[in-house]
Amino acid sequence: MLPSVIENKVKVHPLDRQAQAKERFVLPGSQTELRQKFLALQTPDDVARLLNLDYRRLAHHIYHVPTEQKYKTFTLPKKTGGERTISTPISALKIIQWKLNQVLTTVYEVKPSAHGFVPGKNIVTNAKAHAGKRFVLNLDLADFFGTVNFGRVRGLFMNVPYNLPASVATVLAQICCHENKLPQGAPTSPIITNMLCAKMDSQLQRLAKECRATYTRYADDITFSTTLKEFPEALAYAIETEDGDKLLLGDRLLGIIADNGFNINEKKIRLQVRGNHQEVTGLTTNEFPNVKRTYVRQIRAMLHAWAKFGLAAAEREYRQKYNTKARLAVKGEVNFKQVLKGKIEFLGMVKGKNDSLYVKLSKEFKNLSSLV
């Protein structure tokens, strides 16, 4: 029996893999020019011209192409149980969304606390903000993408700071939404959520400052941390119940999140104390951002299986476990070698490319690759 080489999931944005394809559809003009054109939109025809399209073609793809021909929908198992629904565009709509995403990136003013889907930021920068703290509070926004319906997206473009006409906002929302909500898997969904969360990020940042705490958000993961001896009750506090202590969130914190149209996943509220395991977006943060020990063990198990049994046998074992566990039929068969390389490179991103463990595992991978 081969050693276990089951995939360990980390929060890496899947759309990053499509970067090369996106380069074929880069819009002309500088970021400043794209921003100015976006803010000057007055009609649906203007939207089409901004995206280098004829309006009739744009209207065809967003209004007339059947839904089943625009999106492919599948499910992924959640780490905590249940399934996550992914809808990804499979027609020319994906190209249109890529183009619009370029424009929206120029108009979204990145908040210091936002680390998800932001150039130059990732789960490492997010976790680093909370490393070495006495307390770390983790929250999760329930049904993050699904909570954002067509009306909210349309309202986003019509209100401050964009102030676009209703007809323009309607077309933009039609491009971005699927079945009356933001589809998790569309190129435009991440930037739209960041734009919608901008006000909330500012409000929570101010609350954190008042509490002498640090606040960050990575997509739907919200984290507060502090070095204070007592955790601020405005953020969270414990009460005694018949079943033991129960952690409750502060009224101001709950109010800000509710006022911005989101809900808390009650099952994912955690207050982590120094001395125990502390984790932020999948990385340990007790001293510095680091991967879990199991992650390194899985890399070593994969390298060992390759060295002892050969690449073909190791890949068969991996595919059997991976396909059974993840059920990613839409992506076809997984490639053992590519997955292993990706896991090692992720380790290097977290620990640094000069880290001795990364250097050692990377060298083993190269040596085995040279024998194939």
Give the pLDDT of residue 268: 92
SS3 of the chain: helix, strand, coil, percent, to 5: 50, 15, 35
* Other Cβ atoms closer than 10 A to 155: 15
Q: Please check whether residue 340 is in contact with residue 365, taking contact to mean a CB–CB distance below 8 angstroms.
A: yes
Give the pLDDT of residue 332: 56
Give the pLDDT of residue 23: 57
For each of the chain's 372 residues, which pLDDT tens digit applies?
Answer: 444 443 444 444 444 444 445 556 889 999 999 999 999 999 999 999 999 999 999 999 999 999 899 999 999 887 777 788 999 999 899 999 999 999 999 999 999 999 999 999 999 999 999 999 999 999 999 999 999 999 999 999 999 999 999 999 999 999 999 999 999 999 999 999 999 999 999 999 999 999 999 999 999 999 999 999 999 999 999 998 888 889 999 999 999 999 999 999 999 999 999 999 999 999 999 999 999 999 999 999 999 999 999 999 999 988 887 655 544 444 556 789 999 999 999 999 999 999 999 999 999 999 999 987
Q: Which residues of 221-242 are buried (b: 16+ CB within 10 A; e: fewer)?
A: bbbbbbeeeebbebbbeeeeee
The long-range contacts involving 274-278, CB below 8 angstroms and separated by at least 24 positions, are 274/133, 274/134, 274/135, 278/130, 278/133, 278/136
Give the pLDDT of residue 238: 93
CA distance 36 to 39: 5
Give the pLDDT of residue 146: 92
CA distance 74 to 185: 10
Two structure tokens written together for 304: 């060992």
Q: CB-based contacts of 14: which residues, under 8 Å, 6+ apart?
A: 185
Q: Please check whether residue 74 is in contact with residue 199, taking contact to mean a CB–CB distance below 8 angstroms.
A: no
Q: CB-based contacts of 286: which residues, under 8 Å, 6+ apart?
A: 131, 132, 274, 277, 278
CA distance 176 to 189: 7
Beta strands in 27-125 (DSSP E): 71-77, 83-89
Dihedral sign from CA coordinates of 25, 31, 33, 39 = positive
* Other Cβ atoms closer than 10 A to 64: 7
Output the DSSP codes for 145-203. Answer: TTT-BHHHHHHHHHSTTT---HHHHHHHHHHH-BTTB--TT-TTHHHHHHHHHHHHHHH
Amino acid at 254: L
Q: Please check whether residue 33 is in contact with residue 21, taking contact to mean a CB–CB distance below 8 angstroms.
A: no
CA distance 102 to 163: 19
Give the pLDDT of residue 88: 95
Q: Which residues of 73-98 are buried (b: 16+ CB within 10 A; e: fewer)?
A: ebebeeeeeeeeebbbbeeebbbbbb
In sequence order, what are the beta bridge partners of 303? none
